Amino acid sequence: MSDAQVVKPESRRTEKIGNVVSTKMQKTIVVEVEMRKTHPKYKRVIKLSKKFYAHDEQNSARVGDVVRIKESRPLSKLKRWTLEEVIRRSSLPQGEEIVQPVV
């Protein structure tokens, strides 16, 4: 038995990939996941998007990042996901907000 490798069973928790939309809460990010579905009657491909609240322990994600989130136990009223990894960093400068000129 010592020669046999221990294989960890694969997790049943679903993973989703999406864009970070908001980081204004502490240790929480809002991730928007875009899905493509065909319309049942018209057979046309439709883009649907849904927002998920995810737990970000180190506050590492920024707005515009592409991230992978993983399903977890309920952490609050809306949070049922945790940040798994940041896939691609945003090219937006950190800390600067885009200011619209007042007309």
- Average pLDDT score, the chain: 88
Residues 6-34 have a mean pLDDT of: 90
> 67: closest CA among 92, 94, 93, 86?
86
> How confident is the model at residue 91, as a pLDDT?
84
79, 28 Cβ separation under 8 angstroms: yes
> How confident is the model at residue 1, as a pLDDT?
52
In single-letter form, the type of residue at position 43 comes to: K
> How confident is the model at residue 100, as a pLDDT?
61
Site of tokens 């609240």 = 53
CATH number at residue 48: 2.40.50.140
Is residue 76 a part of any domain in this protein? yes
What tens digit of pLDDT does each residue of 49-84 get? Answer: 999 999 999 999 999 999 999 999 999 999 999 999
The domain in which residue 42 lies consists of 29-88
Is residue 48 a part of any domain in this protein? yes
Q: Which residues contact 35 (CB under 8 A, 6 or more apart)?
A: 47, 48, 49, 50
Q: What dihedral do alpha carbons 12, 16, 17, 18 form, nearest 10°?
A: -160
Q: Report the alpha-carbon angle 88-94-100, nearest 5.
A: 115
Question: What pTM was computed for the model?
Answer: 0.77
More confident position, 47 or 1: 47
Is residue 69 a part of any domain in this protein? yes
Is residue 74 a part of any domain in this protein? yes
102 pLDDT tier (thresholds 50, 70, 90): confident
